[in-house]
Each structure stands twice: as C-alpha cells, then as structure tokens.
Amino acid sequence: MHTETDDDLVKRIASGDRLAMKVLFSRHQVRVYRFALRLVRDETMAEDVISDVFMDLWRQADRFEARASVATWLLAITRNKAYSLLRKRREAGLDDDFAESIEDEADDPEIVLQKQDKGLAIRACLDKLSVEHREVIDLVYYHESSVEEAARIVGIPENTVKTRLFHARKKLGELLKTAGIDRGWP
C-alpha cells in the first residue's frame, strides 16, 4: 500500500478505507502541519487546522477531481482553514488570559545572542514580509511547490505568484542586508 499513489489512496478513502487514510495522513501530516504553523503561528491552532484538513479529506475524498496533486489540494484546504481560523480569532478579540500570555518582545541578553544565529535572523526577516509575500515564499521554497501549484493553492494567477516572489525576494534581500546577512543570491 505504501507504493500506491496519493490519487489511489484518495479513491480508497472515498470508499471508506481507514488504512488508506492512515497512509495518506502519515505521508502528508508534517507538510500540512508546518504550512499551517507558518500561517497561524501557533502550535495549538496549527494542530486544530491539521485535524480539520484531514477530517475534510475523509468526508470529501469523493469530491477530489485530480485537477491538482493531492499535496496541492491538501495545502489549499490548509490555507483556507488557517485563514478561516485566524478570522474567527480576530473577530473574537483578545481575552484577558490570552493578553497576559503574550510575551514581552523586548530583547534580553539571551535573545540578543540568539539573534546572532543566522537562521533565526533569516526567520525574523521572513516574518517581516507581508502575509502575501511570506505565503508564496513558504510554498515555493519551503514546500517546493511549483509556481503553478502555488497559484492553485492561493487562488491567484501564476503571474501574480511570480510578481509576489520577485517583490518578496527583493524585500527579503533588503531586510537581510539591514540585518547584516549576505542573502546568498544575486
């Protein structure tokens, strides 16, 4: 079964095959979780998103039309679920307990040392990008999606993805230069 294609597994899931669901889940759970985490920036919320995504897969497997890969379909569902959850969260507002749990972002000595780490600095620069730019960078570079797949996931034309990538790389280069990091591309 582990050599079956994702499309074959989805067909089996549509007929109620729980083992096929377990196999597909094990193949894609990490990718889906990481993408959700980058969007919602909260581990608990990302876990909620991943649960919803795979629950939708179980319920809607018979609707999969194979216009894109299963991975692309799952990331599109993840994106929609994550943004929906963020909208609900924003509408609910902050409660006192949540507001108290927000960390003070002032740098202490430990943070200053951590910022010297190039990986942390790059992530910090990525976090400064707009949501739209961060999203396409994440899909294309971290999830290795093609421009076409990223366009399907985000629901925008391919040329818009290319434009966002161009501007995101330019802005990221400026941010990295300001942070004193050689960006590693011309």
pLDDT value for 75? 93
149 and 125: one domain? Answer: yes
- 11-58: pLDDT as tens digits: 999 999 999 999 999 999 999 999 999 999 899 999 999 999 999 999
Which CATH number do you get for residue 154?
Answer: 1.10.10.10
Which contiguous run of DSSP H or E holds residue 72? helix 70-92
Last residue of a domain, one of 34, 65, 93: 93
pLDDT of residue 99: 55
Q: Nearest Cα to 71, choosing from 91, 97, 98, 53? A: 53
What is the DSSP annotation of 124-178? HHHHTS-HHHHHHHIIIIIS---HHHHHHHHTS-HHHHHHHHHHHHHHHHHHHHH
Residue 174's alpha-carbon distances to 115, 128, 137, 168, 170, in angstroms, are: 17, 11, 15, 10, 6
Residue 58 CB contacts under 8 Å (≥ 6 apart), including other chains: 13, 21
Total-model pTM: 0.61
Among 93, 117, 152, which residue terminates a domain?
A: 93
pLDDT value of position 31: 93
Residue 19 lies in a domain: yes
Shared domain for 150 and 126, answered yes or no, is: yes
Q: Which residues does the chain have with pLDDT short of 70?
A: 1-2, 91-117, 182-186
Q: Are residues 55 and 115 in the same domain?
A: no
What is the rounded CA–CA span in Å between residue 141 and residue 150? 11
Is residue 185 in a domain?
Answer: no
* DSSP letter for each residue of 17-57: -HHHHHHHHHHHHHHHHHHHHHHH--HHHHHHHHHHHHHHH
What is the DSSP-derived secondary structure letter of residue 104? P
Asked whether residue 174 falls in the same domain as residue 133, the answer is yes
Q: Report pLDDT for 185.
A: 47
Q: What is the pLDDT of residue 186?
A: 41
- Quote the domain boundaries for residue 161: 108-180
pLDDT at 113: 56
Residue with structure tokens 């876990």?
47
Q: What is the pLDDT of residue 30?
A: 94
